Structures are given as structure tokens and as C-alpha cells.
A and B are shown apart, each in its own frame.
Chain A
Amino acid sequence: MSGRSVVHGSFSVERHFPASPQRVFAAWASEAAKARWFGDDEEFLASTAVYTLDFRVGGRERLEGMLPGGALFTYDAIYQDIVEGRRIIAAYDVGIGGRRVSVSLMTVEIEPAANGTRLVLTEHGAFLDGLDSPEQREIGAHDSMDKLGTYMAEARGEHV
């Protein structure tokens, strides 16, 4: 498919963390804390050029770097709803090589659970001009590495 197209999809990923909801929320809310697991992800980006987070409703977040294949990767988010310790909703778009490949609505729900916190991330996405998506090639191939295998199996079992 060489022309313009849009497909819609949604998925959820659920995790349990051995930490309080406050600490899990804080890992999303502070630029320094989020950079540790989101911004500076050396497995995902060969190099990270920019990571900024202005965590408030209407505030923006940007991640920019180079994918292992050499293409420029950009992630731009705007925060739509924040409930301290409980919920985060953001709209974000992803660009690869200067081309916008998706626009998504992401909801993170955080709640107390036995021995820690349950987190559910749900994404509703409009995926653009899809078939030859560089994201699928770069990320799909990258993630086929077996170290994620067990986690994927878990998540599939929970959500399919």
C-alpha cells in the first residue's frame, strides 16, 4: 500500500509492580525518573538526542533519537488528564524519518494491589499509511529478541 491510509487499533498492557502507587506514579511524573526507564532507552534508540517532560495538563513531552537502523525517531505527547497517583491520559504522535506514523491516545491507570501496584496501560491508535511502516520493521524486528518472550506470553494470556 503506497498511498494514504489509516487503521485503528487498541491494546492494553498490564503490570504489577512491587512498589506503592505513589512511587509508580512518581516514575511517570518526574522528568528525571521517567528518563531512567523511558527517555534513555538504549535498547530502543541507538542514541537519544532529546528527552523533556513537562508533566501537567496541557504540558508536553518529547523524545527524539536515532533508531538502530539509523532513522530519526520522534515521540511528542501532550498531557490531557492527570489524577495524582491514579491516572494519566496523554495524546501522542510518533514520527519516523520525519514522517508521522501514528497518533494515539494513551491511558495509564494505577491502583493499589496486593504487595504493590497494578498498572494498566491502554492505547487507542490511528496508525497511518501502514503497510511499509518503518516502525514495524525497526521495532518489530528489534523486539523479536527472545528476552521479551516470557513477558509477551504473560501479557497475551491476560488480554486476548
Chain B
Amino acid sequence: MPILVVILASIAGAVGGQLSLKRGMNRVGRVGRRSQMVWTRGLSSILLGLGFYGVSTLLWLYTLSKVELSYAFPFVSLSYVAIIFGARFGLQEQLHPSRLLGSLLIVTGVLVVSLS
């Protein structure tokens, strides 16, 4: 399998994992003082999210054993774009301008870091 596919699968796994964890915690409820949480409601999404994350981490370790970090790292910036789309269309979050601008800056920063 081409390394590019492995890298993209790793990024997709990390993004899918975060979306799934967030979906689970939305069902569980807010963690904090005097909160009423129902862990069983979100458990399946949380376990799925952790599973995604585990696979993504293994794929990333495999990637780093094959190519230089400087080759793989720029692809990390894709995850910020994917999270924005996933949060908007998967989780119905409101994309306030500060969130878009901030994420865009972080994407730029990651790309600059990967040039070094």
C-alpha cells in the first residue's frame, strides 16, 4: 500500500476518533460539579472513538518508520480542516469567525513548521 494512503488513513482515523469521542461526550453530559452524567448513553461512541484513535496511532507509527517526519507532518494540517467540516456538518456546531480564523492560522503555522 502506498505510504500516502497510510498517512491519509491515519489522519482520517484521528479526525473520526475526535468526532466520535465528541459525539459520545455530548450524550454523556457535561463533566463538572453537580453534573448529571449518564456514561452508558455515550459509551459506544466513546469506545468507537478510542478504537479509531488506536488504529490511527498505529498507522502513524508505521508511517514514521517508513518516511521522514518532515514528509508526513504537513498532512497533519489537513486534520484541522477536516475537524472544522466534521464539527459543522456532523455535530452541527456553529463556526464562529474566530474559530475559522484561528484554525486557518494553526494550519499555516503547521505548514511553516513542516518547512523547517
Chain A complexes with chain B = no
Residues of B within 8 A of A (CB): none
